[in-house]
Amino acid sequence: MESRPWHQHYDYNVPTTIRYPRVPVQDFVGLAAKTFPDKAALSFFGTEITFWELRCRIVRFANALGALGITKGERVGLHLPNCPQYPIAYYAALSLGAIVVNLNPLYTPPELKMMVETSGLTTLISFDMALPAIRTLCQTTQIPRVIVTGVTDYIAGFPPSSAKSLDLEKGWLHFGELLEKSTSTKIPKVPFSPDDPAMILFTGGTTGVPKGAVITHANVVAGVMAASQWGNPTISALPAERRKVLAVLPYFHAYGNIVVMNWSMLTFSTQIQVPRFNIDELVDLIAKTDEIAFFPTVPTLITALVNHPKAESLNLERKLGMLNSGAAPMPVELIDRLKGMGIHFSEGYGMSESTSLGVANPVLGLKKVGSIGIPFPDNDVRLVDIDNGVTEVGVGQPGEIIMKGPLIMKGYWNNPEETAGQLKNGWLYTGDIATRDEDGYMYIVDRKKDMIIAGGFNIYPREIDEVLFQHPKVAEAVSLGVKDAYRGETVKVYIVAKPGQQVTPEEIIAFCKERLAPYKVPKMVEFRDALPKSAVGKILRKTLRQEEEAKEKKK
């Protein structure tokens, strides 16, 4: 067994290895329903569904889908926001041995078409607000079964929708009507192996064409157990009756799927479901909630929350048990702010291909500012030479992160070429560059493909971003390498100023000159009202790069 020096930094009640039960993911729902049948599993705009009610609906919906002819191995697309219908459909599909294909509700018809065709899905479960997109999609691609729900169908006081009220196409089915007609609460009998695929998570590839990472039942079980054990210092101390999680991260994203939805089943936590992110609505929701044991989120959302005019009145210090941040680095200023408030937090790193987990800071133990932390139990992590991909680099030297363990995907769906490029002898090549210190703590330097090479110097945008965040007038910032005839590439930064603040390019450049080596100082500054972001609030450098490339072509 390889030496794992990082184990010495684990929190006192986090195991260094985990024995994973060989069960399908949906068994976690049964466990919660048996243990806390009357506790709210879901709270959606104040309407609650208990764990027992949720279990019964899942089994009935599984039988309804089975009656439609859905069998093991078929792909079922979930095109839904965070609402009760999502976990019902998700665990129902898994109960039949089907593979869930997660689809962002905001995708356009061309994006959906590519994913429908790549995965070969036979069933699409969507919602009323997405009907225009689904109608357009179905004009160009054949989907044997389309099931639609009304997003407000699970909110008390709203009249339930129907196939008629939604004016569904001939042959399309209505979620609530299917569920109502299905009365069998007998669990479907389906042969199961831990190596069976549970879901396909589409992820932006290095080629720009999204690839479908195949995550098995064993991967999800490992991810959920690792996340729950890592949270032991705070979560296990809290009686299960009081455990609530704020479900803002979208379920279709690996992070929200594992660390919110599936985690809640294993820890018997009530999910306060938030179907869309609106900071004012979220602040009002937090104001109405007595306590939140766990809030997995992203830096942009934490920043918006702590800077909100009503933040003071929310009593966040007392109300929030633990914050978990991922998907993008937390600015140092934000970390200091949370520490000052006494809020437990853990910053971590993972990707869709590693079931959203990989490396994280201990919850109670030694945290290092700017570090993504240390590897999770049973996850081996190495930093290898950026060019040869084999030789391990020394302390403080940048190397590509490679990972191996129970969290690593099976491969990309129907894409052996991409799979071979990312998975070598069981090691996942992440494309992320990091350094490691003498304690084994890791620091992301950048994405391999985001590295700027200007005049022969390697420049990591993250370093520039950190400096920009320190500027008192800057709300958000991101840096990028753009083509330059003389230096090959030069540094350009995009900035969103804080409300009511005026800032000039000269101010930004002067500020950077004081804090960065001359070759890292931005040469170009562009101000924006907003920066392009992903579904989880991660700033999309890729979109900005495409804009710059389009400008180049016009020249």
pLDDT, greater one: 328 or 514: 514
Give the Cα separation of 408 and 162 in Å (integer). 41
* Mean per-residue pLDDT over the chain, rounded: 91
Give 502's contacts (C-beta < 8 A, 6+ positions apart). 473
pLDDT, greater one: 367 or 61: 61
Whether residue 206 is predicted with pLDDT greater than 60 in this model: the reply is no
Whether residue 2 is predicted with pLDDT greater than 90 in this model: the reply is no
Which tokens hold the place of 76?
A: 């079922």
What does the CA dihedral 435, 437, 439, 442 come to, rounded to 10 degrees?
-30
Give the Cα separation of 243 and 41 in Å (integer). 10
Q: Reduce the DSSP state of residue 195 to 3 states and report it.
A: coil
Give the Cα separation of 444 and 442 in Å (integer). 7
Q: Which helix (H) or strand (E) holds 225?
A: helix 217-230
Q: Which helix (H) or strand (E) holds 417?
A: helix 416-422
- The mean per-residue pLDDT over the stretch 526-532 comes to 93
pLDDT band at residue 455, thresholds of 50, 70 and 90?
Answer: low
Residue 456: the pLDDT is 61
Residues 169-179, buried b or exposed e (16+ Cβ, 10 A)? eeebbbbbbbb
Q: What percent of the chain has pLDDT over 70?
A: 96
Whether residue 183 is predicted with pLDDT greater than 50 in this model: the reply is yes
- State the SS3 of 426-469: CEEEEEEEEEECCCCCEEEEEEHHHCEEECCEEECHHHHHHHHH
Residue 489: the pLDDT is 81
Give the Cα separation of 441 and 431 in Å (integer). 18
- The mean per-residue pLDDT over the stretch 282-310 comes to 90
Pairing of strands 320-325, 292-297: parallel
pLDDT band at residue 208, thresholds of 50, 70 and 90?
Answer: very low
Residue 517: the pLDDT is 75
Contacts 24+ apart (CB under 8 A), 262-266: 262/25, 262/28, 262/220, 262/223, 262/224, 263/224, 263/227, 263/228, 263/294, 264/32, 264/41, 265/28, 265/29, 265/31, 265/32, 265/41, 265/224, 266/28, 266/31, 266/32, 266/224, 266/225, 266/228
Give the Cα separation of 40 and 307 in Å (integer). 31
pLDDT in tens, 76-107: 999 999 999 999 999 999 999 999 999 989 88
Pairing of strands 211-216, 244-247: unpaired
pLDDT in tens, 309-324: 998 899 999 999 998 8
Cross-strand pairs, 401? 383
Q: Reduce the DSSP state of residue 535 to 3 states and report it.
A: coil
Residue 1: the pLDDT is 39
Least confident of 58-67, 114-123, 246-255, 302-311: 302-311
Domains defined for the chain, CATH in brackets: 5-19+208-447 (3.40.50.12780), 49-191 (3.40.50.980), 451-554 (3.30.300.30)
Distances (CA, A) of 71 to 92, 198, 402: 12, 13, 36
- The mean per-residue pLDDT over the stretch 383-410 comes to 94
Least confident of 207-211, 360-364, 436-440: 207-211
Say if residues 296 and 254 touch (Cβ distance below 8 Å): no
Tokens 């590519």, residue? 114
- The mean per-residue pLDDT over the stretch 296-316 comes to 88
Residue 152: the pLDDT is 96
Residue 478: the pLDDT is 92
pLDDT band at residue 207, thresholds of 50, 70 and 90?
Answer: very low
Say if residues 312 and 283 touch (Cβ distance below 8 Å): no
Give the Cα separation of 472 and 474 in Å (integer). 6
Distances (CA, A) of 72 to 30, 62, 103, 501: 20, 12, 20, 57
- The mean per-residue pLDDT over the stretch 250-275 comes to 96
pLDDT in tens, 414-454: 999 999 999 999 999 998 899 999 999 999 887 767 778 77
DSSP state of 533: B
What one-character-per-residue DSSP string does 270-283 give?
Answer: EEEE-SS--HHHHH
Which tokens hold the place of 302?
A: 């934490």
Whether residue 345 is predicted with pLDDT greater than 90 in this model: the reply is no
pLDDT band at residue 387, thresholds of 50, 70 and 90?
Answer: confident
pLDDT band at residue 25, thresholds of 50, 70 and 90?
Answer: very high
Give the Cα separation of 174 and 290 in Å (integer). 36
Distance in angstroms between the alpha carbons of the first and the last residue of the chain: 56
Least confident of 111-125, 189-203, 319-333, 355-369: 319-333
Which tokens hold the place of 37?
A: 């049948």
User: Which among 541, 542, 551, 528 is positioned nearest to 476, based on CA atoms?
Assistant: 528
Q: Which helix (H) or strand (E) holds 553?
A: helix 541-554
Whether residue 331 is predicted with pLDDT greater than 80 in this model: the reply is no
Q: What percent of the chain has pLDDT over 90?
A: 71
This prediction has a pTM of 0.85
